[in-house]
Chains A and B, each alone.
Chain A
Amino acid sequence: MLTLLLKTRLRYYRNYLRHHFDRVARIEIAIIILIALYLTGRSPADIGYSLAFVQEPDFPQRFTGAWLSLLPVFYFVAEALALMTLRPTGEWQMLGALPLSKQAITNYHLLRHAGKTLLLLLIGTLPFFVGQVNFLTKTFHFLIALGVLLTLQVAGFRQAHVFRASSPQLFRRILRWLPAEVLIVFISIASTFFLTKVFSGGIALPFVSTLFVCGLLAAVVLYLYRSYQPSETEAAPAKKIILNGRSAWRIVQKAGIIGALITRDAQLLWRRQCSTYFLFLVYVVIVCVPIIAHAKAEEVYASSIAVQIVFSWLLINSLLALFEYDVESLGLIKSLPIKPQKLWWSRWRLTAGSIVAPMLIPIFLTPIKHSLDLGFLLFIFFAVLIVPIVFATLYCNAGFGMFPQIKYGGIILNISLLLMLLFWFFMPFGTPLLLAVMLFWIRKSQKHFQFLEIA
């Protein structure tokens, strides 16, 4: 059964790629990946990074130190990925309705989860083979690292499952999830003392440590098997909220097209991905820090802009979800008398607005603490105009221009931003060049959306 499930999933991916990319596009992507691998593998100086530190004698110690301190981070990432794997989708209902064994479904989701964390596992274990120590010790270290990471990975999966399916009420779910979460994080931090001794040779019995780690893993897996219940398809019992008379529909009722589109986007985000609002809130809080932390006005401006750039980057990636909702309801949007330009501008205003709004705090607070000067005007120019315009335009271009390939659009968006930043530091004339391309793409992306067919 597990093989069948995995084969079906692989077929699904294959068909997805075939459907979305023709042969030429697939060849192009393969060539790009090969070139990227070649560039990564050959003389690093060509592309501005160096792998020389791997050759240094103290690399194993430094890597081990970093590895130990990042254990809780790995756990959180694994848990977040498991939350994605276990998100309630149509597949849950379908699998729940089939005569599949509990174990088969568990293994299937565990393997999908393992696939998502594979890269992290490789990065977190293979470097243990680098260094001057003998091969047997390296292998032991590798096995211990693998065991610890696998244990954390499985524990993260289990915790994600508790969070997803233990109770329809959020409070109860948190109540069940939190104690174990605290315990796991505590153990992952506390075990660093023991693991440091193991890696430094303080414990002369690698067999014992390997057995210990493997035993821990086995215990977690056993616990998972015994308590895992793919109950009632685990599909989301949709929130039954009644919003009569109180909700934002009154706003929409009085708004023009652009206002209605922005309100719709805000509502959908709130109900389907409220993490974007959380991110926005964090942005608001963090952007206040430079005002308190720095004594000089210039430092406040520079830090605030840096914070704005980082959070704008995160925000536009989060807002890509809006395009995914558009893919689901494209037939509706296209059958309504909404011009693509209006759709484009509504999305642009929402994005630019959410990038600008938190910056109003430093703009209003800085003059209280520091005197007004040319630097302040320059700061306003960047915070209110340049950064929001660049980010929002790039976001809309990528989303509308690559529609309905939103993931592909997201990749292009991030690569473009990365290139713009690199150009800014290493090749300044490249940034305006990219800006020019971006402006040219506004109309192109609108036209692409306008003449999109829905089969």
Chain B
Amino acid sequence: MSAIELKNISKSFEHIHAVRDVSFSVEKGVLCGLLGPNGAGKSTLFKMMMGLLEPDNGEITLNGKAVTFGEVEYKRRIGYAPESAILYEYLTGLEFLAFIAAAKEIPKGMRKEQIDHWLAFFDLTEKGGELIINYSHGMRRKLSLSAALLGDPEILLLDEATNGLDPESSFKLKEYLREFCSKGGTVLFSSHIIETVEHLCDRIIILHRGQVLREMQMAEWEGFRKRGSSLEHEFIEMVKTQN
């Protein structure tokens, strides 16, 4: 069964076609990379999946259930980290995560354990009692990721997740994502950094100007390597051809 399925999704803002007739599906347990230049429509797709934007056309199915705009229940099973971390700057890190845990209706007995776990995972334990306004960009990103990972989600939608992370946290996150997928979780991971996607994902979807340019399996880019090429080279060629 597909964990994520998008059928003919389109979205326009006045005269700009942000997403045009996009269809793809991601199987359960797959770590899928969404690759594309700036303005390709990656964040718009995530926002539509999270119900922040209503698609003009098409259907989104998450874990076999069609998602309708305005619905909220399905969000309990999804972890979403947006491109720019949206946080309450005048709450402390602990208070913020406690609020997210309550909002996701995590059982009360498990909240502290989960919060402590993710704070420790991202090396934020000592900073948990400080106001978020004092956090650096990287710390905000870590907190946003912690919020997304709280509540054992089945699907993770990570928009430019490794941006601003220090190398150690970035490495730990990638390791965790692999483990998460091996246990049956599904990840859609957007980035414009090709190397990250190349080394992390099982599958790649390339977006350009709001359309799916190409879908590739791991084996295909292994083929590039054997031919002495790279994903980066192939990606640039594809985008150039389209332009």
Instruction: Enumerate chain A interface residues (CB-CB to B < 8 A).
Output: 238-245, 247-250, 252-257, 259-261, 263-264, 267-268, 271-272, 325, 328-332, 334-339, 450-451, 453-455
Contacts and interface: CB of A to CB of B under 8 A. Distances in A.
Interface in B75-115: 75-76, 80, 82, 86-88, 90-92, 94-95, 98-105, 108, 111-112, 115
Interface string B60-82: 00000000011011111000101
B103 A336 contact: yes
A453 B54 contact: yes
Contact of B75 (A240, A329, A331, A335): A335
Contact of B92 (A249, A255, A330, A331): A249
A455 B102 contact: no
Contacts of B80: 335
Contacts of A268: 88, 90-91
Q: What secondary structure prevails in chain B residues at the interface with A?
A: mixed
Interface in B158-196: none
A245 B100 CA distance: 18
A277 B103 CA distance: 25
A247 B92 contact: yes
A331 B86 contact: yes
B104 A264 contact: no
A245 B53 contact: no
B134 interface: yes
A238 to B, nearest CB: 4
B131 interface: yes
Given A240-B130, A267-B91, A336-B75, 12 more contacts: A238-B133, A247-B94, A252-B95, A253-B102, A267-B90, A271-B131, A331-B52, A331-B86, A336-B103, A337-B73, A337-B103, A453-B52
Contacts of A247: 92, 94-95, 129
Contacts of A338: 72, 103
Interface residues of B, number: 42
A259 B13 CA distance: 37
Nearest to B74: A337
Contacts of B111: 253
A256 B101 CA distance: 10
For the complex of A and B, the 7 pairs showing the least CB-CB separation, nearest first, are A260-B102, A244-B129, A271-B90, A252-B98, A337-B75, A332-B86, A249-B95
Nearest to A243: B129
B102 A256 contact: yes
Most buried by A among B50, B94, B95: B95
A268 B104 CA distance: 20
B128 interface: yes
A255 to B, nearest CB: 6
A363 B112 CA distance: 41
Contact of B98 (A245, A249, A331): A249
B47 interface: yes
A245 B129 contact: yes
Contact of A252 (B51, B87, B102): B102
A268 to B, nearest CB: 6
Nearest to B132: A238
Interface string B196-230: 00000000000000000000000000000000000
Interface string B121-154: 0000000111101100000000000000000000
A248 B98 CA distance: 10
Contacts of B70: 450-451
B102 A257 contact: yes
Most buried by B among A240, A260, A331, A337: A337
B103 A454 contact: no
Nearest to A258: B102
13 contacts: A238-B133, A243-B92, A243-B95, A244-B128, A253-B102, A255-B102, A328-B86, A330-B86, A334-B50, A336-B104, A337-B104, A453-B54, A454-B53
A253 B101 contact: yes
Contacts of B95: 243, 247-249, 252, 264, 267
B13 A249 contact: no
A240 B128 CA distance: 12
A336 B80 CA distance: 9
Given A336-B75, A337-B105, A329 B87 contact: yes
B69 A242 contact: no
Most buried by A among B82, B87, B100, B102: B102
Contacts of B103: 257, 260-261, 336-338
Given A260-B102, A329-B86, A334 B51 contact: yes
A331 B82 contact: yes
A239 B131 contact: yes
Contacts of B101: 253
Most buried by A among B90, B115, B130: B90
A334 B73 CA distance: 11
Contacts of B51: 334-335
Contacts of A450: 70
Nearest to B83: A331
Contacts of A255: 102
Contacts of B112: 253
